[in-house]
A and B are shown apart, each in its own frame.
Chain A
């Protein structure tokens, strides 16, 4: 709203008062529009719209950049499904104030986030790829750590079962890998009894 000086004089109003009024209107509308942009609107691949606090949504660097381009409109995520996105947002809401220290997140995996990753492999995979494409580093770090913890200390067969991996070696190849098995006892070539 712009008032020209000529109009104000014509209308007989004090120009200084009108200036202050116009300035405060401009300021007010700026505040109003920034209040509006504190909520991000995100549309997932299955056309569901999520209204998420900006601070939470911008934990994703990808969304942060896209929000800059969309300037207040709806941010389209063409390769994220709503069920996975809902989980990701749930995680982000919990950690919006926790900063970027990855060591903290490693500890949190054992505490407040322990059950978040107790999901089946398909969901875990989608969580990880979504965290990767949305560039949410702490979430990706935790998800990968979950795989690390699953593998830690397991035998070859246990790893296959746990992660549903098919053994695709031929017999000869398997013999070769078995020969390269690290001896489980230190420094031992044979065991000699007295």
Chain B
């Protein structure tokens, strides 16, 4: 058994893995082990039908099934005899199976004995012990199965060979293999009893009206059902429709901005962005320089170009220059953009992408104090031009607020620090698709505690998620790890805790929450999940640990995501941007102070086909 209680999780860079508890199992390991070698299986109790996520080598050796053959499946396949059987062998005691089900439902330990079969069909007696593992908040996150296998002295007759698989429809053939026993036909899985309506439909109706509305995961399952569905689900146009329906038009549009040569294809992209199996940290070296050097600038991506504006120079003076880094080119390098009439210099402002290829700057701390002006940069104009938007009734001037873009056209700003250091908790919306944009405050009955340095992420079309920041708590301020959401498609939007509770402070997600922080990075993944890392973290926690949350779950849970590659030691929200929907580019980040913007860290969420062209 491969127990290594001294191994350090974060040091393992060669394999990706996921843990819900982030630490040693909460039970003493030796008590569970028998002296003889036994099989060890771990299943994920949070996923439907308890899929296996780990088996040890003893399991593999004794049962004859390799790990990759069984991962993702429920253990009940051990009750089927032979490779091609799809239902439980009649000799398997169904009362024991019911007992297992009862114990799992009640969350208690099971001990008992059950007939199992090796891959080659030979019988095994499995003395089984199932132990539920509880996560932080009393929900079962995993089930551990300890299996003590012994030979079973039962004569079963020959195992049905492969030639019989095709003719298993005929119940006569089937019965001849088990002549001594009456088969208990619970559900006859190999015979299609009943009319198959769906496959009678035309390819067009099937693809356009049914398959295109399934989630990426469901399409992947459907593709494994039968040959015709396998062929239909290989179609790239279908996958594009699936992605668009599942992730929304805006996300799909951003993903399409990556040039064709580097595109993975929608099928593979959907898979990788759902399973995150290809996520990795990389390092990029670029040319050029951002000079004079500065901190507290803001960066945002337009297509494959990273744009940087402003910042705080030496002597704390606010800067107003614009730099662009084109990641499309074979040798990307920082270039200073000559603009006429740039906005007044500032730091602590927000820079967001809007209307496709425009960037909007709001707020920040300028030479004469805090600002609340709005400037839009048209990067594709010749020459690129900043233009002031004079919106009526702007919000209070502020810095270190958070912003996001809704529908690709509406700027949302919230919170931040106003004059005299007061923290704000308001939310304003500016519709930049209008001729004359007007600021509109979103009226709410209750707001979360006011804060600065938090993040706003858009998910599920018109919902926003607020996380973290330095929040007001009475006369004091603490780093926060609270999550709040608001649905802007409602008539009267209101802030809620992400668990859905309307009571303030009543519910944060379960699982291991990220340590409280401000000025962190929040990446919105297609499908609604949010990835959090970086920032100024309370205590001695690493800022490069990745945390994942799906606010659309019934019971949202934080999960830790470990990916291969070396992460940056630091990552700041204001200087990190997401390129093409799949790459989070971290500027700076090796130390807290130094701003060498030629060494970038990138968290790529999907495979990059251009890997081999970079030196």
Chain A contact residues, CB within 8 Å of chain B: 120-122, 124-125, 128-129, 132, 140-141, 144-145, 147-148, 151-157, 159-161, 163-169, 171, 173, 177-194
Contacts and interface: CB of A to CB of B under 8 A. Distances in A.
Given A169-B227, A183-B277, A128 B42 contact: no
B195 A164 contact: yes
B446 interface: no
Given A190-B15, A192-B7, A147 B83 contact: no
B224 interface: yes
B519 interface: no
18 contacts: A120-B194, A125-B201, A144-B205, A147-B198, A148-B210, A151-B222, A154-B221, A156-B225, A159-B221, A161-B187, A163-B197, A164-B192, A165-B226, A166-B191, A183-B72, A187-B277, A187-B563, A193-B25
| 4 A-B pairs with least C-beta separation | A125-B197, A191-B54, A121-B197, A144-B209
A155 B51 CA distance: 11
A188 B67 CA distance: 13
B61 interface: no
Given A181-B72, A187-B279, A191-B53, A152 B17 contact: no
A186 B274 CA distance: 8
B615 interface: no
Given A189-B15, A189-B16, A167 B277 contact: no
B15 A122 contact: no
Interface of chain B, main secondary structure = loop
Contact of B205 (A132, A154, A163, A177): A132
Given A169-B227, A185-B18, A191-B18, 4 more contacts: A165-B199, A165-B226, A192-B7, A194-B24
Given A161-B187, A163-B198, A190-B15, A171 B84 contact: yes
A168 B227 contact: yes
B276 interface: yes
A155 B189 contact: no
Contact of A141 (B16, B72, B209, B561): B209
B4 interface: yes
B223 interface: yes
B49 A155 contact: yes
Nearest to A194: B24
A121 B18 CA distance: 41
Interface stretch (B114-122, B212-220, B456-464, B576-584): B212-220
Nearest to A141: B209
B312 interface: no
B266 to A, nearest CB: 15
A161 B190 CA distance: 9
Contacts of B5: 194
A10 B271 CA distance: 91
Contacts of A151: 210, 214, 218, 221-222
Given A167-B225, A189-B277, A194 B4 contact: yes
Contacts, number: 176
Interface centre among A169, A193, A194 (most CB of B within 10 A): A193
> In which size bucket is the chain B interface?
35 or more
B25 A186 contact: no
A148 B214 contact: yes
A132 B498 CA distance: 41
B193 interface: yes
A178 B277 contact: no
Contacts of B262: none
A129 B204 CA distance: 12
B226 A166 contact: yes
B48 interface: yes
Nearest to A154: B221
B17 A190 contact: yes
B218 A153 contact: yes
Nearest to B219: A151
B7 to A, nearest CB: 6
Contacts of A169: 226-227, 230
B47 A188 contact: no
A152 B216 CA distance: 10
Nearest to A143: B209
Given A155-B221, A194-B23, A183 B275 contact: yes
Interface in B23-72: 23-25, 42, 44, 47-49, 51, 53-54, 68-69, 71-72
B209 A124 contact: no
A147 B197 CA distance: 10
Contacts of A177: 223-224, 230
B108 interface: no
Given A184-B47, A188-B53, A193 B3 contact: yes
A165 B215 CA distance: 20
Given A178-B69, A191-B53, A165 B548 contact: no
B194 A128 contact: no
Contacts of A193: 3, 25, 42, 54
Contact of B225 (A159, A173, A180): A159
Interface centre among B68, B193, B225, B271 (most CB of A within 10 A): B225
Interface in B529-573: 548, 559, 561-563
Contacts of B47: 184-185
Contact of B561 (A120, A179, A187): A187
Contacts of B165: 171
Contacts of A120: 194-195
B192 A166 contact: yes
A178 B277 CA distance: 16
A47 B466 CA distance: 64
Given A167-B225, A188-B18, A160 B53 contact: no
